[in-house]
Each structure stands twice: as C-alpha cells, then as structure tokens.
A = this chain, B = another copy of it.
Amino acid sequence: MKLTSKGRYAVMALVDLARFDNINPVSLRDISLRQGISLDYLEQIFSKLRKKEIVQSVRGTQGGYVLNKKAKEIKLTNIFDAVDEKVKTVQCKKESKKGCNGKSTKCLTHNLWDELENHINNFFEKKSLEDLIKDNVERRI
C-alpha cells in the first residue's frame, strides 16, 4: 500500500499555502521552489483543488491561490478526494453484490478489507489542515 506523490504533494502544497496566505495569494511558482515540486505537476493538482472549492485562484500578476475555507474545515479527506487519491482495498465495486474476478459472491476476507478501508479513512477524516500547521509551529520547522 502506498501513498502516491500526487496525494502527498497536494497536502504539502496546501500546508505551504496555508502558512503564507495571510495577505496575498501564493503563486505555484513559489510553492514549487519552496517544496521542490514540479510546477507543471502542481498546476494539475491545483486545478483539481479549485474545482472542489478547496482553493480559489487569482489570475494575473501578483496572482496565485488562496484557501477557500478555513484551515480547520479542510480535512485530509477533502484534499485526497479532490485529487482522486482514494483508499482502495478491493477491486470489486462496493455497491455490487458480486465479488472480485467476476465471482458471484464476496470473498472470505471482504469484511476485513472494509474494516481496513474505514480504519484508514478515519485517520483522514480527523486531520485538518489546521492540525498540520499547528504541528509545524510546535516543531519550529
């Protein structure tokens, strides 16, 4: 099980953004430089974040992005959801009664994978952007 760079970058970039967006919008170029993430890739990511109303964009010179909600209200779940970083422990469709590999019923361990998925999602639902920023201040990173 691994977290993809897209998901990791989305959170990193938003933490960076949240720390600097007091007055002015933050440009992706700055985030790119500070966090060492490809600018082109960041643009893809922020396009998704904007569509899910996590950030707002400001075009033109001195433009950039600002948070569209309070940091406290942005949970990891929302971020991951926006960039399609989903937790998936099974191959079969959740809604369907059918199992993997075209089997007519769900597998022996199906309940386990559901539990696992919930376990991980719980973590994402609890953590907000605000938590992450506080965490950094305490550690003075």
Question: Which residues does A use to contact B, with CB under 8 Å?
Answer: 1-5, 7-8, 11-12, 15-16, 35-37, 85-91, 99-101, 103, 107-109, 111-113, 115-116, 119-120, 123, 127, 132, 135-136, 139, 141
Contacts and interface: CB of A to CB of B under 8 A. Distances in A.
Copies per assembly = 2
Nearest to A122: B119
Considering residues A2, A4, A113, which has the most beta carbons from chain B within 10 angstroms of its beta carbon? A2
Given A2-B88, A3-B89, A91-B5, A136 B120 contact: no
Contacts of A136: 108
Given A119-B123, A123-B119, A135-B112, A107 B35 contact: yes
A8 B90 contact: yes
Nearest to A139: B111
Given A113-B8, A119-B119, A108 B1 contact: no
Q: Which 4 A-B pairs have the closest CB atoms?
A: A2-B88, A3-B89, A36-B101, A119-B123
Contacts of A88: 1-3
A5 B141 CA distance: 38
Contacts of A132: 108-109, 112
Contacts of A85: 1
